[in-house]
Every structure is written in C-alpha cells, then in structure tokens.
Chains A and B, each alone.
Chain A
Amino acid sequence: MTRPRSDITRGWRGWRGLAPLGLVLAAAAPALASPQGLYDEGRVLERRGTACLGQADCVTVESRQARIAKGESTILQARCPAGHPYVAGWDTEQHEHLVTTALPPKPRRGADPDAPVATSGRIEVAATNNGETQGRVTLLLGCVASPPRVTAVMKQRSGVPSNHAGFSGGSR
C-alpha cells in the first residue's frame, strides 16, 4: 500500500525538526567520545626558566612535589636561603590539568597601607586540579642576593586542554 504523498511530506517535516539536535550532537561527538575528558592528564608542563628570568646570580629553590587529588586544591610554599633572601620569580613543573596561581604577600599587621611592601623571601602558590585524575606539581623559586628590579611578574600558569584543542603530542 502506498502512502499518500502528503503523509510522506508531513513525516519528513516531522523529522526535519530534529535536524538542529543532530547538528549539536555531531559537533559535540569528539568531546563525548573522548574517554579522557578535556585534558591530556599525562602531559607535563616542563619548567620554563621563569624563576630566574633575566636575573644574574640567581639560585633556584625547589619545593617537594605535591600530589593533588581530583577537585582538590593545595598551597605550595618555598623560601629563599639566607644568602639569596629576595624572591626574583617562580616557575613550576606541573600537569596540564592543574592551574597554579601566585598568592599576594600577606600585609604585616598594623603596617601603613601606603608604605612600600616589605619583601619577604618566601612565596605561596595555590594549585588547583581541574581534571579527573590526580595531578603533580613542583614549585621552583628564584632567589637573588639584593632586591631585584623587575618590570614583569608571573601570576598564573596552566595548560590549554589538549584533548579539547585536538592535540595528541607532547611529553608524558
């Protein structure tokens, strides 16, 4: 039995309404199909030398490696040695799915807010895990013997989500 043409047309028009949903699903397919999520959680962002960037007679102090569970954050600390008591900069070696952020020095109690900030030989960096698995991070602190004259300060470091960007290379 042949259906009237109008029925066929109506039927096709009915399915046509689902076309936008199909397009959305097709666009999202790579992400949905990826078992690893957004991040390549094996990729490590290597140390880049920003701890002592442009500084002469600069020594690097390395913190213990921290392990951060999924959804967790931690604060890393490092302190300059007595012979090189001033912070020049910082660097990390961290997994792609971690974000590290330098925390501002805490003001001294009762200090004049307009007075120059006293330089302390330590730094605190918060690390947050945005991925699905544990991540590891090591903080590197650059230290110099006299107050450094800098015009650039790193505040944050993170990786672009490799799986989202379609990247499949890099160190593991």
Chain B
Amino acid sequence: MRSMLLRARRLLGALLLAALLAPAGAMAGPCGPYTTGNIPDCEPQQQAPVPYGILETQGWAYYCTGDHPYFWGLSSSYPGDFTWDNSCFSAIENVFPETTPNKFDATFTNWCLSAENIVVTLGCSSQPPPGFGPSCNETGGPVGDPGCPQSNISNHCSSTNPPVCFQTATETCSDGTTYSCTADQGIVWCYKCG
C-alpha cells in the first residue's frame, strides 16, 4: 500500500514537472493557438531543408519574408513560434541575437546516429511585434502602396553575409492620411493609421 502511494506521488511529481517545463504558449503549430493570445495575421513559412551529420550541432538564423516579414517569437512572449519536422533534433531559441524583427535565431542538434535533414517552419506576421515599428495606430487590413511621399525610412538588415533586409516607412498623403508601410523582396504593403 505504501509503495503504491509512493508510486502515485512520483507520478504526480513527474506530471507536475512536465507541466512546468512545457512552454507557456503551448501550441499546435507555429501560428498557435497560444495561451498568450494569437499572433495577428500569422502565416506559416516553411524553410528549405538543412542537412546535419551524425551528432552535429548547427546555429542558424531564419527570417520571415515577403508580405509577412515579422517574427514575434520568444522576445514577444510567444515561445514556440516555430516548429521542426524531425524528432532527431532538439532546438534552443537564442533570443538575444534576434536583433531585427524578422529574425529567428536557434541552435539545433541532431542526436540521431544517422545524417538527417530538418525543415523549420516559422510563424510569420504581417504586423510588427509589440514595441517595434512606427508609432501608428493601425486600422483595417493591409492595403497596397498608396504611393504618397515617404518619411521615416528605415532599412533593417541582418549582420550576416549574405544579408537579409526589409524596409519600413511612413507615407503621408495630401489629404492628411498616413500609412505605415513595409517593403520586402519587391513587395510593398501598408496599414492605414487611425
């Protein structure tokens, strides 16, 4: 009887530990659902397969791109804003090198005794994470480039070779309407500021 109680206590302890170690934003995919709320206008962006040898560790920077260039990630309280397809791997997100809002930085290790590929998928948003971007109270959905005069032009480039860049700007039209715009790989889209 006593041993059964002991076993039950151990099981309960293990379950509690597992619950504590599980990420707060437990999710089904890179775009959630999250307990911390959903990432707005999030789309999964699947990256190219990367080959690893037996028992090998690699550090990679992955970038959101196109009309969804923003990675919210751990620094925005969205742990697990990424997934990978191969159970041979462990992953550690490196928050401190994530110095641009499109960047996901992580260290992956292949623990299997065979060469393996990994495919990483990022949850990418069309809207910048909290605390980033021009001071604009965005209203409505994304619209095309209104073509008005630009100000506050900022280029955001990675410190890598090859570099990965995108540009943000404010556009002010003659009727006083302002737009917060993002350009990435030849695509420009804007949000109207309220």
- Given A105-B161, A117-B163, do A155 and B61 touch, yes or no (CB 8 Å)? yes
- Given A104-B160, A116-B155, A160-B55, do A152 and B113 touch, yes or no (CB 8 Å)? no
- Given A87-B162, A119-B161, A169-B113, do A151 and B54 touch, yes or no (CB 8 Å)? no
Given contacts A53-B50, A167-B113, 14 further A-B contacts (CB under 8 A): A46-B53, A48-B51, A116-B157, A117-B157, A120-B161, A123-B161, A151-B62, A152-B50, A153-B60, A155-B60, A155-B105, A156-B59, A157-B58, A169-B54
- Given A46-B53, A53-B48, A160-B109, do A155 and B59 touch, yes or no (CB 8 Å)? yes
List A153-171 residues whose CB lies under 8 Å from chain B: 153-160, 162, 165, 167, 169-170
User: Chain B: how many interface residues by the 8 Å CB criterion?
Assistant: 38
- Residue-wise, chain B 89-128 has the 8 Å CB interface mask toward A (1 for contact) of 0000000000000000101010101010000100000000
Tell me, yes or no, whether B164 is within 8 Å of chain A by CB. Answer: yes
Tell me, yes or no, whether A57 is within 8 Å of chain B by CB. Answer: no
Name the A residues within 8 Å of B54 (CB-CB): 167, 169-170
Quick check: B159 and A116 within 8 Å, CB to CB?
no
User: Chain A: how many interface residues by the 8 Å CB criterion?
Assistant: 43
Tell me, yes or no, whether A30 is within 8 Å of chain B by CB. Answer: no
- SS class of chain A's interface: helix, strand, loop or mixed? loop
Name the B residues within 8 Å of A14 (CB-CB): none
- Residue-wise, chain B 15-46 has the 8 Å CB interface mask toward A (1 for contact) of 00000000000000000000000000000010
Chain B residue nearest to A102 in the complex (CB): B160
Quick check: B56 and A159 within 8 Å, CB to CB?
yes
- Given A48-B52, A104-B160, do A154 and B65 touch, yes or no (CB 8 Å)? no
Tell me, yes or no, whether A50 is within 8 Å of chain B by CB. Answer: yes
Name the B residues within 8 Å of A152 (CB-CB): 47-48, 50, 60-63, 120
Please list the residues of chain A having a beta carbon within 8 angstroms of any beta carbon in chain B.
45-46, 48-50, 53-54, 86-89, 96, 101-102, 104-105, 114-117, 119-120, 122-123, 147-160, 162, 165, 167, 169-170
Tell me, yes or no, whether B150 is within 8 Å of chain A by CB. Answer: no
Name the A residues within 8 Å of B50 (CB-CB): 50, 53, 152, 154
A-B contact pairs, 20 of them (CB 8 A): A50-B51, A54-B48, A87-B162, A117-B157, A117-B158, A117-B159, A119-B162, A119-B163, A150-B162, A150-B164, A151-B62, A151-B63, A152-B50, A155-B59, A156-B57, A157-B58, A158-B56, A159-B57, A160-B55, A170-B54
Tell me, yes or no, whether B185 is within 8 Å of chain A by CB. Answer: yes
Query: How distant is B30 from chain A, measured CB to nearest CB, in Å?
Result: 14
- Given A147-B162, A152-B62, do A114 and B45 touch, yes or no (CB 8 Å)? no
